[in-house]
Amino acid sequence: MPLDPAQRHQIEQDAITAAWEAERLAACDDAIALLREVTDLECDDDGNAIVGTDADGHNDLMSRITAFLAANDH
């Protein structure tokens, strides 16, 4: 038995919502992983994380955080 247009529309909307929620959950998992890396960083006497750079002044962690925020800032 074919679906009526209202049922078809609801199924499509439910699928879109489920995909959006899955994307958000994946982004949350990625954010948690980045935060765990930050909490594992060495801290100074005041408790501030020490975020180091390589000899060229690059910081992989900060680059990854920047890329993450750019990709997930909807």
Strand partners, 43: 49
Which residue has better confidence, 53 or 65? 65
Q: Give the residue-averaged pLDDT of 44-67.
A: 76
d(C-alpha 56, C-alpha 37), whole Å? 21
Given this model, what pLDDT does residue 13 score? 96
Q: Give the residue-averaged pLDDT of 60-68.
A: 80
Mean pLDDT score of the chain, rounded to an integer?
Answer: 82
d(C-alpha 52, C-alpha 57), whole Å? 9
What residues does each domain of the chain span? 5-72
pLDDT in tens, 19-43: 999 988 898 888 888 877 777 777 7
